[in-house]
Structure 1
Amino acid sequence: MSLLRIEDLKVHFPVRTGRFGGGKAVVKAVDGVDLAINTNETLAIVGESGCGKSTTGNAVLGLAKITNGRVLFEDTDLTSLDQDKRKRVWREMQVIFQDPVSALNPRRTIAQSIAEPLTIHGYAKSEITNRVDELMDLVGLNKDQRDRRPNALSGGQRQRVVIARALALSPKLIICDEPVSALDVSIQSQILNLLMRLQRELGLSYLFIAHDLSVVRHIADRVAVMYLGLVVEEGPAEQVFSNPVHPYTEALLSAIPIPNPKLRGKRKRIVLEGDLPSPLSPPVGCPFVTRCPLAESRCETIRPSLETIGEGHNVRCLVRAPEGDTTRIGA
């Protein structure tokens, strides 16, 4: 049984258009996403800004109103629960946001910030004190930092505070929304290693949202690539990175920096022409058709479905899956 299942998730936002706002349109931020996360697993969602990855995470947390579809946590449909029942389930799900500065109240001490979820859920003061000390030790913070405020800490230390707060209620699932993108590269690896250690020790599952594929490769068990509100490729991380099938995935992977100078010339950079289409008027057929180097005439009118091309590996492409040519365009 999956810990979390997302079924045909749609999140549409009505917006006003026109010079004086008299028109109406709909932004299809997420337009039919199916995903699942197992216990002790990391699923990464990647894609350009505006692809719908953060909105997907917000929908799971109840921070974005779901237009259609279901979010099931341990087979409980979160979309059908009232507020009180959701609160009991949501303690099993926590979030780590991108910017630790805005995620922490500057007036609160580190101990007060970590204790916040425990206070909200009615824990006794003695329990809170002991739990805060335990959490600070778990994430690598010193006890003498208890009474400091966020501005007295480094970026990496602030993110450790945010992680400690997310762990306070012993959740099973943590939504990591770009958790290291605001940090220096040297600190990023420390935080990623911390998250992986916590996963091993506590049996956590992560929904890891990111745009940096180097980071994703380091931490993810499976990867879902999103484009214009749809998953265009999803599968085991090793398969997606070593044998990408969708042209968009190939283009993203070709942009990953190669540390070894001797190998840089051996991989062709795939540069996509044009800009990301407006979510107010997406293409009728394949969402990627306006930028795809393999596009055919049928791609303009037929919307491809997500097809299985291997064990756990799914692709949304008329040309590449399931019977199409799988020759890599970057080869």
Structure 2
Amino acid sequence: MANPKQFIFFDFEMLCSNKGMSFANMEAIRLGAVKYDLETETIQRFDRFIKPKNRKPLSNFCKQLTGINDTDLKDAEDFKTVFEEFLTWVGGIKKSRFFSWSTSDLTRLKIDAAKHGVSETTIKKIEKRYVDFQAIFTKRVSKNNPSVENALAFYDLTFIGEKHNPMYDALNTLRVYLSFLNKPKQSDLIMVKQFILEDVPKDKGKLNKELVQKLTEDIRVYSTHLDEMYRMKDASKLLKKTRQLVEKYENILINRSGLFSKELVSLISQLVEYYYELILCYEDHINHSSKVMILDESIFYPIKELQQKRG
């Protein structure tokens, strides 16, 4: 796949009801997007209402939630026409990468495209180039699924424009992305606060010292309950517990800020190495329909080294 020349951030507003509605029936009623040119850093905007197949008047709940009225949809084009306008505005799928804040927008696109006879090949091309930025941000920075507004607040930014306007939702998602991309130090400090330390030292040396102390304390607590043999039911719990520990620290291995010491990175690498060995051992026992999982002493070497180095 060729390197993208532009980023497309998009968002849908959909039919909704406080009485419940299946996602399949929550047709798109507005499509908003922004196009970010990677060379010029210019931003272009797209905003269209969409007339749904369901012609029932919008509920008061939906009007209040989306800010959309029946008059907005009266003269709107159908999904297929608006999507064709969108593709013309994009100006080339192959040179684009597509983003949204959660996969619900991609799912909406796929469902409504199928309903309106949009080329499946076209949708697959977009899906191949699609990124769920909320998932990345949650994994790398925030720990919990934040709203776009809360994600902006991490970078001391406020929401620009009208809320529940999908074009502004897309624009503000782009702003979060650019902050995440261009402010690696701030992103990593946010990550440390969200995942590991309540109070994050500003001094780099002190930060690393406290992170090493916290990691080794977590390893000590974790190691207290380790055994050489587990029933498979308990083995799955051990795997989950280990994964949670790894997820707490693994972002430090892929940091872009250069904040973290070689010592800290090395210690976390040992933890991850142990986790992967544990996964292989677990899968091997599952494949052989074992009732218990027996751990070879060598699996514990990385953990023991961690304890010896800091113990």
Q: Which structure carries more helix by proportion?
A: 2
Q: TM-score, normalised by structure 1?
A: 0.27
Query: RCO greater where, 1 or 2, for CA within 8 Å and sep 6 or more?
Result: 1
* Rg larger for: 2
Question: Could you state the TM-score of these two structures normalised by the residue count of structure 2?
Answer: 0.28
